[in-house]
Amino acid sequence: MRRSIPLAVQLLAMQVVIVLVTVVVAGGLAVRLQENQIRDAYARRVLTIARSLSTVPSVLDAYASSDPSRTLQPLAETVRQAAGATFVVFTNDEGLRYSHPDPSKIGKMVSTDPSVPLHGSEFVGTETGSLGRSLRAKVPVQDASGQVIGTVSVGILESRLSQDLAGVVPSLAAWLAGAALLGVVGATAVTRLVRRRIFGLEPDQIAELLKTRDAMLHGIREGVVALDDRGRLALVNDEAVRLLGLAADPTGRDAADVLDAEVLGALVSDPDPVTDRVVLAGERLLVANRTTARVGDRDVGRVLTLRDRTELFDALRALQGERSITDALRAQAHEFSNHLHVLSGLIELGRHGEAVRFIERLGAGSSLLGGESMSQIEDAGVAALLVAKAAAARERGVTLRLTDDTEVSDGAGDDVLTVLGNLVDNAVDAAGSGGTVEVHLLTGPDGDITVRVSDDGPGVPPEQRQRIFEPGTSSKTATPDHHGQGIGLALVERIARRRHGWARVDERPGGGALFTVHLPAPQTAGLSTVRGPR
């Protein structure tokens, strides 16, 4: 496999190339500007000389004499030498020379077109004449009446301009070389700084680290949510997306726009680390832990890990129900044994009538749930849950009974079990020993289900009824054995909202609390009135 060029070498090479290209381009522009400045300066000089000579009185007098060359030739040479010009040439109105650096060319026609100054206009430009290519200025010479009587031409060879430019280039080149050297030194320093900032890693190594990090984070069976110091989500792994019920990866968005209030609170509210806090995200119970991410001595964000407790919670609740049934059956078996001893004694004593009446009393009171309403519950899950809850309530000295008009069709679903279980548990806790809990269940003609649970406990104060369904709101005293209090009713309300139904709490006639939850059938659920009518 061919070895790639190290990143440091690539960075240095690219920066050096950029510096050199910039210096060369800047040098070219500088030379061009300098050349233009020299040319403009010479153009102004020759034009000024030509204008001055065209108005000198001695020049006008010479043009009026019979031999203009006698006066103009010495004047032209004197001015040429003093001004450093290549030539100063006077002509008549036909273009014949009156002066020239080469006296043999006096009286001959000029080698360039004299029509512009002879028509009264000035000319400044580069032309090739008898002495070579030169920058020249041509100005008309006019008499007192304004009539053109000749021209004066002043020029400097282009080679002279090139010599002046060549004298400037070495110093300019030295400055450019110094700038290039400084740029290379700066490029070397920048390369070292970048190399140090990326810990000496090559691009393929950095890419491999990122891929490995992403694979590991997204492969973890715990949800990971990272928040940067600006309150934006820096990382949300696949498990966190699933647990939080997000449609897509929200990385880069503000946490407040994405996360549930409870999850957001666990992530940003407390300054101290969060340990094993139970939060409700949608309809999931999650165990949240939060730490602060630090780089050196600087806080760069916060990291929240989430574990799903929903399945464990359901399993523990089911196990508790099974234990309640087992304890109830054990108690009934013990009680049944005592009843058999009583019957045996009555029969041995010959009190057969009393034995029959004793059996009749046992038959009327042996059911865990009184009345004939259990026969109207076709759903096996609901029936089993009620039997378990009744047994648990009886062990705590609470009477659980069904209303006579209870009727539940088969296929009620897990939502009904969750709602019913949470409401009954809360009602039994509120009623306490000697209290009564009444349950009403009714399946409507469209498949909607209404769950109504009342108790004769202390009830819910009016000022708490608006927030009783909010996560974390609970009237129970927190104990080490009861984590996640204030979750059950919030879960009930969210299930009702998802089903486009409603949940509410009222005062029970005679005192206590009356909770009502309406769950429309999934296929016919309409718009939601979350807390029900007031």
421-463 residue pLDDT tens: 889 989 998 998 889 999 999 998 888 999 999 999 998 888 8
Above 60 in pLDDT, residue 475? no
CA 354, 358, 363: angle at the middle one, nearest 5? 150
Own/partner pairs, 461-467, CB within 8 angstroms, 24+ separation: 465/505
Highest mean pLDDT among 185-199, 223-237, 422-436, 511-525: 422-436
Which DSSP state fits 526?
A: -
Beta bridge partners of 454: 438, 514
Above 60 in pLDDT, residue 2? no
Distance CA 444, CA 450 (A): 8
pLDDT-derived band of residue 140, with 50, 70 and 90 as boundaries?
very high
Q: Which helix (H) or strand (E) holds 516?
A: strand 513-519
Label residue 413 left, alpha or beta by phi (over 0 means left) and psi (-120 to 50 means alpha). Answer: left
* Distances in whole angstroms, Cα of residue 112 to Cα of each of 126, 358, 488: 11, 149, 107
Q: In this structure, what token pair is assigned to residue 474?
A: 């609970």
Structure confidence at residue 78 (pLDDT): 92
Q: Are 69 and 96 in contact (CB under 8 A)?
A: no
Which DSSP state fits 97?
A: B
Structure confidence at residue 155 (pLDDT): 92
Residue 103: name the closest of 121, 76, 124 by CA. Answer: 76
Distance CA 46, CA 52 (A): 10
Count of residues in the chain: 534
Q: Concatenated DSSP letters for 133-180?
A: EEEEEEEEEE-TTS-EEEEEEEEEEHHHHHHHHHHHHHHHHHHHHHHH
Q: Name the 3-class secondary structure at 443.
A: strand
Q: Are 447 and 456 in contact (CB under 8 A)?
A: no
Q: Are 141 and 115 in contact (CB under 8 A)?
A: no
Mean pLDDT lowest for which of 126-135, 182-191, 481-490, 511-520? 481-490
Q: Concatenated DSSP letters for 252-301?
A: TSBGGGTS-HHHHHHHHT-SSPEEEEEEEETTEEEEEEEEEEEETTEEEE
Q: Name the 3-class secondary structure at 418.
A: helix
Percentage with pLDDT > 70 across the chain: 82
Residue 233 φ/ψ, nearest 5 degrees: -75, 115
Strands (E), 5-110: 87-92
Distance CA 169, CA 175 (A): 10
Label residue 455 left, alpha or beta by phi (over 0 means left) and psi (-120 to 50 means alpha). Answer: beta
Give mean pLDDT, residues 345-373.
Answer: 67
Mean pLDDT lowest for which of 79-88, 313-322, 370-379, 466-475? 313-322
pLDDT-derived band of residue 122, with 50, 70 and 90 as boundaries?
very high
